[in-house]
Structure formats: C-alpha cells, structure tokens
Amino acid sequence: MIGIDWGTSSLRAYLLDPDGRVLERRVSSEGILSAAGRFGAVLDGLISGWPAEPVLMSGMIGSRQGWAEAPYVACPAGAGALAAQLRRVTTAGPRGVHIVPGLAMLDGEGIPDVMRGEETQVLGALAALGRSSGRIVLPGTHSKWVSVADGCITGFSTYMTGEVFAALKGHTILGRTMDGEEIDEGGFARGVEQARGDCGPPGRLLHRIFSTRTLGLFERLAPREAAGYLSGLLVGAEIVAATPLPDEGGSSAGVGSGIVVVANSALAALYADAAGRLGLSAEVAPADCVTAGHGVIARAARLVA
Amino acid sequence: MIGIDWGTSSLRAYLLDPDGRVLERRVSSEGILSAAGRFGAVLDGLISGWPAEPVLMSGMIGSRQGWAEAPYVACPAGAGALAAQLRRVTTAGPRGVHIVPGLAMLDGEGIPDVMRGEETQVLGALAALGRSSGRIVLPGTHSKWVSVADGCITGFSTYMTGEVFAALKGHTILGRTMDGEEIDEGGFARGVEQARGDCGPPGRLLHRIFSTRTLGLFERLAPREAAGYLSGLLVGAEIVAATPLPDEGGSSAGVGSGIVVVANSALAALYADAAGRLGLSAEVAPADCVTAGHGVIARAARLVA
C-alpha cells in the first residue's frame, strides 16, 4: 500500500510492504496550499512508478481547503471509527485513494477542538512503540496533546505554542532585542525553569513573557539567549498546562508520568529536554511513524489484509 | 508650570495654573522615536509662547532612547522618592526642565518589572479622584496594574495584552478568519465570559485562544465577532490574573473590589465593561489626569509651592 501525509505546506509519500515497512519515501513541497486545484496530478506525479494500492492519505488534504472534505469524527475514536469514515476520492488513474478523517471533540466547557493528520501519527507512534495507551505530544505550530487508552484516542488539546512564539518574536517588542536565529540552550533551560515556578491563572502568561524584555533591560539575559528563553517559557508553560506534573498532583490515570514525543529530531529533542526539566520522562517516536498509523487504519478498513 | 507627557509615539504638553488646572493643551505626534536627536528644539517649538517654568516631563523621554536617562527608582515609591531623583536637562532656553524617573521592582521570583510615565499618571489619577489608595489599571499595548497605599506605589505588574492581541490578529491563523476593524461588543462579551471560567496554569492561554479558530470552524462565532471575542478572551484573562476576583478569594487588602481605569474613553469603556462582567466595579479617571501627577511631583520636589 501507499501512505500519504499531506499537510498545509508539505507532502510525504511512502511505499509500504505488506508488513508496513517503508520500501521507499518521496517528499515534495507541494502542500495543499500550493497544490490546490491539481491534487490528483500532484499525487500521480509523486507516486508514479509505484504499482501499489490502496493509497491512504492523512492530514489537511481532508480539510475544506483540501482535495475533498472528510468530516471530523467525534472523539473518543480509534482506528475502527476512523476507518468507517474514510472519504474516497476518484483520480484519473486506476488506484483506490482514501482520506482519513480528522477528529473533533468538545472540552468540559463545550468549546470544540480539532485535529487532522495527528490522529494517524498518534496511532502510528504507539503501534511503532508496541503500545496501546499513552500520552502523546506532537509539538509544532499548533501542538497537540493526545491521550490514548487501549488504542482509542480519548481526548486531546491544542496549544498554539509555535505560532505564538513566531508572532511574539517577529511582531512584538520582545523580538527587537533578540540576536541570532538559533535557540540558545542555556536561555531555553532558563525559560523552562521559569515556567515551572509560574502560578496563577492563564492570563498570567501575558505578564510572564514580558520578563524576556525586562531581564534584557537589566542585562540579566543576553540578546543571543532571549529567543531561547522565550521559547523555553512558552514550551514549559505548555507542558505544565498539558500534563499533571509529578510534583503537582500525580499523573493521569493509566498514562504514568511519561510522554511520547512525535516530531522531527531537533524539535523532539527540545521538548524531551523541557519535559525532563519538569520531571517527566519523554520517549521520542521513530521517524516516519505515521506509516504505521496508515497501516493500522488500512487494516481496520480492510483495505489490506 | 508646564507638564509634559512624552511617550514613544506622542507628545502632550499642558500649561497649568498654580492650582494644577489645565489652562492650555498642545499635542504633537513627535514621540521620542521621531524626535530623537532634537528633543530640545521639538519641546521649545511646542511650548513656545508659554512663559511658565518649571517644565516637568514624564514618560519614555527619560528612557535610554529618550532625551536623557532618568534611572529607575525602586518601588515601593511615592511622589517624594520620584521627586528626589528628577533628572534635569539643559536646553537652549532659560527654562528649568526636569524628567520624572520610572519605577522598577522585583516580583516574588526575582524577575524585574518596569514602568515609565505610568507612575505620574497613577499619582495624578488618584489625586484627581481625591484618594490616596487604590488599584489602578492603565490598559494598552502593555497594560500596567498598579497598587497604591497612602500615596505610595507599592507594587505593579505588566501585561502585554494589547501587543499580544495585535500580533495574534495580524500574524497568526486567528486573524485570517476575522472580518471588520471594529471590536464587536457581543463577541467581546463572550470572550470575557469565557475567560472567567478558565482555569489551569498560565500555559492554558496557549490553548484557549485556539477557540477563536474552532468556534469559527463550527460556525458558532461569526467572522465579524472573532476579533472582539479574542480581545475579550485576552482582556478577561488579564483582569482575572491581575485581580483577586470577589468570587475567587476576596479582594486585596485595603483596595476593595473596585479598580480605577486610566485610558482614553473607548479603551476605558472596554475595560470597565469587562471588569463589570467579572464582578469588579470600575471607575474611569478623568482625561488628562497626568497633569495632577506632574503637580504632585513638582510640589514634592519644591519646584512649585
């Protein structure tokens, strides 16, 4: 079979053997924004020469702005519920092409949250690690924190950490005194430690980020450390909010005090480092584990044996 | 005397009678950024024909980027401590020109916070209202929450609410679905109510703001309401964080459950509305109350009788 992870700004295709091993991997920068209106042609071009079907696609390709909308499935949901709601699309070629739906849920206050693509990565990460339960974080522009019990995604929460960091760095006074493009390790560590001690309600974050400026003003934070510090403040605040820390009231039922991180190696290392400073063990999922998710869903849908 | 409020992007000059009443008011867009390098000429031009001295200036004019740096005075501080640290500058003309220093403090975790200009507005607001104690908010790009007891500024805290709102609206996915430049009243009210119910640590704000997107996605928030909703979320979160709400553990000692708002009328109305929804009474300080602060500090410095 062929597994496709098609996001807003990138496209990854994997040729898989019957056991789900990756035989070949092809990457394109034609995310759904640039491929709009010619999805079939872009797909056929990328996977040309690959004889296999079915093709199972996950990610923003199933959004309103994608190839065809695959409506959100209500969470809790596992591979079976996702498989039951695949959206089939027709292409010029003879292949059977299907889109995995996203997940939606309401939090305790009736506010919706959504994911699209991460559900497949989460199921794949746990399958790759040989587990059926856990707490998984997919850090990034919009970090997702996902709880899974017995193969069923039971709840999740989105944190806009990456996008907020970029907006603060690029478009507020905090970025004006930053020097260098790298995330300084020492600055990052200081930010995470600061976030550990922070208390107060959510609005306190609007105050705490100002310390990036004031510490610099009193020469207690160097310009080359400032971006790392702000990143550490935000990532630390995210982790503290998303996990009951071991020293703050115990761990989630059945999940233990560990998390699984699904991200590229640099970002995964950053989150694993922050989690460790906050007393959580972090395991990094193997690269390309999304393919194991494609396999799990394809089997649940009986697209493959 | 002459009182000057000289900020980053604006300059206001007031000719005051011996009782502190405003005889004449002149406004310029020559903030310290545009007036850099010719502060004396800009000042002389704006107040030409006004015979009075002394001239007392407050605001960013005393910062490192201003005319002359007036180092921060340590908080707690009242008019006496500010008056003792005025920075005198020399001009081409015969006038005695002085700059009010800003205030700095360390919070419970040793993180600095600073203000410059607001100390004069705060003392002026309370003088104009005939009080010597209170909790004052100066909302804006960087909102300041200030506690005053017996004429002494005892503590303060900065919230980057206005600047964070602009960065999120202008440079994240949240702004992409917003329609209209106005802050919709209904949307603002919904955001404030949402903030009231929010619990969890500071990082929770990174999650909550995403509701601006998801409520829109499910057509529970109209594009014309979205900017107001996000503004209400942030302003509400700020107020909840900055004040012990009456229903969340009582009021600050000696301050009661009311706040004084110092801002232009539109912004003051927005904050007074949000405070009311959160169970706090809000009083709006008179316009141009900064001049009463100039008077208090000038008398403490014996520049006037």
Flag if A236 and B209 touch (Cβ within 8 Å). no
Q: Which two tokens stand for residue B206?
A: 């990174």
Whether chain B has a CB inside 8 Å of the CB on A158: the answer is yes
d(CA B210, CA B116): 33
List CB contacts (< 8 A) between A158 and chain B.
207, 210
d(CA A198, CA A208): 8
Band of pLDDT at residue A43, cut at 50, 70 and 90: very high
CA B174 to chain centre: 26
Band of pLDDT at residue B251, cut at 50, 70 and 90: very low
- The H-or-E segment that residue B289 falls in is none
Residue B239 has pLDDT above 60, yes or no: yes
User: Shortest Cα distance from A137 to chain B (angstroms)?
Assistant: 14
3-class secondary-structure state, position A144: strand
The closest CB to that of A203, out of B173, B214, B238, belongs to B238
Whether chain B has a CB inside 8 Å of the CB on A33: the answer is no
Q: What is the pLDDT of residues A50-65, one digit of tens each?
A: 988 899 999 999 999 9
What DSSP assignment string belongs to B160-199? -HHHHHHHHHHHSHHHHT---SS--HHHHHHHHHHHHH--
Question: So what's the pLDDT on residue B182?
Answer: 85
Q: Which residue of A has its CA nearest to B202?
A: A202
d(CA B92, CA A157): 62
Question: So what's the pLDDT on residue B84?
Answer: 98
Flag if B113 and A210 touch (Cβ within 8 Å). yes
Residue A224 has pLDDT above 70, yes or no: yes
Report in angstroms the alpha-carbon separations of B303 from A179, B83, B94, B252.
43, 9, 15, 35
User: Shortest Cα distance from A240 to chain B (angstroms)?
Assistant: 7
List CB contacts (< 8 A) between B215 and chain A.
111-112
Q: Which residue of A has its CA nearest to B235?
A: A203
Pairing of the two strands B281-284 and B258-261: parallel
Question: So what's the pLDDT on residue A94?
Answer: 75
d(CA B284, CA B104): 25
Band of pLDDT at residue A255, cut at 50, 70 and 90: very low
Residue A248 has pLDDT above 70, yes or no: no
Q: What is the pLDDT of residues B117-166, one digit of tens each?
A: 999 999 999 999 999 999 999 999 999 999 999 999 999 999 999 999 99
List CB contacts (< 8 A) between A33 and chain B.
none
Q: Which two tokens stand for residue B76?
A: 């707690």
Question: So what's the pLDDT on residue B78?
Answer: 98
**At B131, which amino acid appears?**
R
d(CA A127, CA A284): 13
List CB contacts (< 8 A) between A216 and chain B.
none
Torsion of CA B48, B49, B51, B53, to 10 degrees: -20
Residue with tokens 């909308």: A69
CB B116 within 8 A of CB B102: yes
Q: How many Cβ pairs closer than 8 A exist between chain A and B? A: 170
Flag if B163 and A172 touch (Cβ within 8 Å). yes
- The H-or-E segment that residue B261 falls in is strand B258-261
Cis peptide before A76 (omega within 30 of 0): yes
Q: What is the pLDDT of residues A182-220, one digit of tens each?
A: 899 999 999 999 998 888 899 999 999 999 999 999 999
Q: What is the pLDDT of residues A133-146, one digit of tens each?
A: 999 999 999 999 99
Whether chain B has a CB inside 8 Å of the CB on A218: the answer is yes
Question: So what's the pLDDT on residue B253?
Answer: 41
Whether chain A has a CB inside 8 Å of the CB on B212: the answer is no
Question: So what's the pLDDT on residue A251?
Answer: 44
Flag if A194 and B109 touch (Cβ within 8 Å). yes
40-99 of A, contacting B, C-beta below 8 A = none
What is the pLDDT averaged over residues A226-233? Answer: 98
Whether chain A has a CB inside 8 Å of the CB on B172: the answer is yes
Q: What is the pLDDT of residues A6-32, one digit of tens each?
A: 999 999 999 999 888 999 999 999 999
Band of pLDDT at residue B250, cut at 50, 70 and 90: very low
Flag if B204 and A167 touch (Cβ within 8 Å). no
User: Shortest Cα distance from B277 to chain A (angstroms)?
Assistant: 16
Domains A2-129+288-300 and A161-284 share a fold: yes
Whether chain A has a CB inside 8 Å of the CB on B202: the answer is yes
Q: What is the pLDDT of residues B189-207, one digit of tens each?
A: 999 999 988 888 999 999 9
Whether chain B has a CB inside 8 Å of the CB on A206: the answer is yes
Whether chain B has a CB inside 8 Å of the CB on A238: the answer is yes
What is the pLDDT averaged over residues A247-266? Answer: 69
User: CB neighbours of A135 closer than 8 A, spacing ≥ 6?
Assistant: A145, A146, A147, A148, A243, A252, A255, A258, A259, A260
Q: What is the pTM of this model?
A: 0.94
List CB contacts (< 8 A) between B233 and chain A.
none
Q: What is the CATH number of domain B2-130+288-300?
A: 3.30.420.300
The closest CB to that of B214, out of A112, A220, A239, belongs to A112
Question: So what's the pLDDT on residue A167?
Answer: 98
Report in angstroms the alpha-carbon separations of A66 from A33, A105, B102, B223.
8, 21, 53, 21
What is the pLDDT averaged over residues A57-74? Answer: 97
CB B115 within 8 A of CB B103: yes
Band of pLDDT at residue A246, cut at 50, 70 and 90: low
Interface residue of B160, B194, B234 to substitute, partner A, most A CBs within 10 Å: B160
d(CA A64, CA A114): 13
Whether chain A has a CB inside 8 Å of the CB on B214: the answer is yes
Whether chain B has a CB inside 8 Å of the CB on A173: the answer is yes
Whether chain A has a CB inside 8 Å of the CB on B300: the answer is no
99-118 of B, contacting A, C-beta below 8 A = 104, 109, 111-114
Question: So what's the pLDDT on residue A171?
Answer: 97
Question: So what's the pLDDT on residue A93?
Answer: 75
Flag if B203 and A242 touch (Cβ within 8 Å). yes
CATH tag for A2-129+288-300 (out of 1.10.3210.10, 3.30.420.300, 3.40.50.300, 3.30.1490.20): 3.30.420.300
What is the pLDDT averaged over residues A94-118? Answer: 94
ipTM (interface pTM): 0.94
Whether chain B has a CB inside 8 Å of the CB on A170: the answer is yes
Flag if B163 and A142 touch (Cβ within 8 Å). no
Question: So what's the pLDDT on residue B255?
Answer: 47
The closest CB to that of A199, out of B201, B204, B218, belongs to B201
Flag if A201 and B241 touch (Cβ within 8 Å). yes
Pairing of the two strands B87-89 and B77-78: unpaired
User: Shortest Cα distance from A224 to chain B (angstroms)?
Assistant: 19
d(CA A255, CA B203): 21
Q: Where exactly are the structural domains of chain A? A: 2-129+288-300, 161-284
3-class secondary-structure state, position A261: strand
Flag if A238 and B194 touch (Cβ within 8 Å). no
Band of pLDDT at residue A95, cut at 50, 70 and 90: confident
Give the mean pLDDT of chain B. Answer: 93
d(CA B234, CA B172): 15
Superfamily of domain A161-284: 2-keto-3-deoxy-galactonokinase, C-terminal domain (3.30.420.310)
**Is residue A181 classed exposed, middle or buried when 0-12, 13-18 and 19+ CB atoms within 10 A define those classes?**
exposed
Residue A118 has pLDDT above 90, yes or no: yes
260-299 of A, contacting B, C-beta below 8 A = none
CB A211 within 8 A of CB B111: yes
